[in-house]
């Protein structure tokens, strides 16, 4: 039915071969020419508006974001009641778990070294061989002040001195050009910034005077002074502090401490005068008999006060260090009169209540713990630091940190187990009871020639900063490592254990 056969092929004529120019052009593509226009935008006109749409009612309709969404409160309450038992069970389980004991979230960058951030000095004071006698941070923690004077042999009474301030937050800080320089006709032995007024600073002079400056007044910073009256100290003022007025909490008065045995409280009066408000006197007759202090060569029985620290828990309790080597617990809430002393415009009271085991020489520094109501530190010319409880005479711990004097000791404002000590060998030692109760965690070389470091202060606002001043006239700002500013786990428990050794 079917068979193979060959059919003739069909020919289709090629039009493009016959006439190449009839349907196309010699271009890079086989399409007709496309017209283009180069402009910054592909529209003939443009308009700038605050939004990318035309303003119309249509674009704004149905956009009421203020409309409150409907909430099914009854359904929410039913859900919470249904899961309450399960959630409470899991929370109790987590509370008893020890899986994260010792873990603390670290919100700051880790810094493992203690480094010198600034080296500040006043060349004119250094040319006169003056020493840094005191340091204080202002209320904001941005300004540091130092006083220049002498703490070695020499005629201090006629020595000119200075108070200098630097704002560390100011751009273009010049370490050899203070923001403020106050000329003082007598050596300045002590400084203390006002606790809430950043520009007010009190000073104690070798002459026995107490003064208050306003560092915001460049031309005439002197605000108040005691002058030389019968109420003025007869010995150098080695410490000043600000006390909150018990009757008007927003007001402060100035406390001064001197080796004449008096602790005087001053209030502002008229015409820039500081007036004596109340006073205390340490006299040998009213000290505990165990102290056995000898009479002073000047014929009086006054006990020279060198340092003071108030309790952070009871504003009436304070510790003083005296020339006889003792630390004494005192109180402002006393009525016992001191031995009558002529010339004072107000009666002086005897504040001493308890004497602690003495150092081998005068006590130059005391510091009450900001984290425990009974603990304080003392340091003196024997090179030892004593950790004391106010509840017993014997020290809890005695550490020899220097073969020479210790001029300053301070508790850390943020670490309960950390304190710093400044020595006569040119070192600032940082101690951490959490790591060791026998040796410092870090020893900082403040001076290269082992000249004394006389003063230092932690910054309670910028907690990574510690300022120290030395006999070369230099103030160094040290940036502390993370170990010294971050409270560790169970640190308060460890501090409580140290304090409880009093009962063992």
Tens of pLDDT along 439-483?
A: 899 999 999 888 999 999 999 999 999 999 999 999 999 999 999
Show the beta-strand stretches assigned E in 283-326: 305-310, 317-322
What distance in Å separates the CA atoms of residue 446 and residue 427, rounded to the nearest whole number? Answer: 5
The secondary element (H helix, E strand) that includes residue 492 is helix 491-500
pLDDT tens digits, one per residue of 86-125 = 999 999 888 888 776 655 555 544 456 899 999 999 999 9
pTM beyond 0.85, yes or no: no
CB-based burial, 73-98: b 16+ in 10 Å, e otherwise: eeeeeeeeeeeeeeeeeeeeeeeeee
Instruction: Point out which residues pair with 349 in neighbouring strands.
Output: 280, 337
pLDDT tens, N- to C-terminus, the chain (504 residues): 566 666 666 666 665 455 554 444 444 455 566 666 555 545 455 555 555 545 445 444 444 544 556 788 888 999 999 999 999 999 988 888 877 665 555 554 445 689 999 999 999 999 999 999 999 999 999 999 999 998 875 555 546 899 999 999 988 899 999 999 999 988 999 999 999 999 999 999 999 999 999 999 988 899 999 988 889 999 999 999 999 877 766 789 999 999 999 999 999 888 899 999 999 999 887 776 666 565 444 445 678 999 999 999 999 999 999 998 999 999 999 988 887 666 688 999 999 999 999 999 999 999 999 999 999 999 999 999 999 999 999 999 999 988 889 999 999 999 999 999 999 999 999 999 989 888 899 999 999 888 999 999 999 999 999 999 999 999 999 999 999 999 888 899 999 999 987 544
The angle subtended at Cα 392 by Cα 386 and Cα 396, nearest 5°, is 35
How crowded is residue 291: how many other Cβ atoms within 10 Å of its Cβ?
Answer: 17
Contacts 24+ apart (CB under 8 A), 170-173: 173/118
Q: Which is nearest to 404 in space by CA: 468, 466, 471, 306? A: 471
CA angle 233, 422, 388 (to 5 degrees): 80
Q: What are phi and psi of 236, to 5 degrees?
A: -60, 145
* Cα within 13 Å of Cα(301), Cβ side: 11
Residue where the block lists tokens 């301030």? 165
Local structure of 129: helix, strand or coil: coil
> What CATH homologous superfamily does 115-503 map to?
YVTN repeat-like/Quinoprotein amine dehydrogenase (2.130.10.10)
What CA–CA distance (Å, rounded) separates 264 from 278? 6
* Domain locations along the chain: 115-503
Closest CA relative to residue 323, chosen from 257, 402, 394: 257
Nearest CA among 177, 217, 185 for reference residue 201:
217
Q: Are strands 375-380 and 115-121 parallel, antiparallel or unpaired?
A: unpaired
């Amino acid at each position: 039915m079917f068979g193979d056969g060959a059919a003739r092929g069909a020919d289709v004529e090629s039009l493009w071969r016959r006439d190449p120019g009839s349907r196309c052009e010699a271009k890079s593509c086989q399409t007709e020419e496309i017209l283009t226009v180069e402009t910054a935008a592909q529209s003939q006109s443009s308009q700038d508006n605050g939004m990318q749409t035309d303003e119309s009612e249509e674009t704004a309709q149905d956009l009421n974001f203020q409309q409150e969404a409907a909430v099914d409160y009854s359904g929410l309450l039913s859900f919470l009641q249904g899961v309450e038992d399960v959630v409470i069970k899991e929370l109790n389980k987590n509370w008893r778990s020890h899986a994260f004991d010792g873990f603390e979230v670290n919100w700051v960058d880790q810094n493992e070294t203690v480094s010198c951030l600034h080296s500040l000095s006043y060349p004119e004071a250094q040319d006169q061989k003056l020493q840094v006698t005191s340091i204080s941070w202002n209320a904001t923690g941005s300004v540091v002040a130092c006083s220049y004077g002498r703490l070695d042999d020499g005629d201090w009474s006629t020595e000119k001195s200075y108070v200098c301030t630097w704002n560390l937050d100011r751009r273009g800080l010049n370490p050899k050009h203070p923001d403020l320089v106050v000329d003082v006709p007598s050596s300045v032995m002590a400084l203390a910034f006002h606790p809430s007024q950043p520009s007010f600073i009190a000073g104690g002079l070798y002459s026995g005077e107490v003064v208050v400056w306003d560092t915001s007044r460049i031309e005439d910073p002197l605000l108040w002074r005691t002058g030389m009256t019968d109420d003025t100290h007869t010995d150098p003022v080695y410490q000043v502090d600000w006390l909150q007025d018990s009757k008007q909490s927003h007001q402060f008065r100035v406390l001064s401490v001197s080796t004449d045995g008096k602790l005087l409280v001053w209030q502002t009066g008229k015409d820039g005068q500081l007036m004596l408000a109340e006073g205390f006197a340490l006299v040998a007759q009213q000290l505990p008999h165990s102290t056995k202090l000898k009479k002073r060569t000047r014929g009086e029985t006054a006990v020279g006060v060198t340092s003071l620290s108030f309790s952070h828990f009871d504003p009436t309790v304070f510790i003083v260090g005296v020339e006889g080597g003792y630390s004494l617990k005192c109180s402002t809430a006393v009525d016992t009169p001191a031995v009558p002393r002529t010339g004072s415009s107000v009666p002086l009271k005897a504040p001493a209540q308890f004497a602690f085991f003495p150092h081998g020489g005068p006590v130059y520094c005391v510091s009450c713990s900001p984290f425990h109501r009974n603990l304080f530190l003392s340091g003196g010319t024997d090179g030892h630091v004593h950790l004391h409880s106010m509840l017993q005479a014997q020290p809890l711990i005695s550490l020899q940190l220097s073969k020479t004097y210790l001029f300053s000791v301070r508790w850390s404002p943020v670490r309960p187990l950390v304190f710093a000590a400044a020595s006569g060998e040119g070192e600032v030692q940082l101690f951490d009871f959490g790591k060791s109760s026998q040796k410092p965690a870090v020893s900082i070389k403040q001076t290269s020639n082992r000249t004394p470091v006389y003063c230092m202060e932690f910054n309670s606002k910028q907690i990574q900063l510690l300022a120290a001043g030395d006999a070369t006239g230099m103030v160094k700002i040290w940036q502390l490592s993370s170990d010294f500013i971050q409270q560790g786990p169970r640190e308060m428990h460890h501090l409580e254990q140290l304090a409880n050794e009093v009962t063992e």
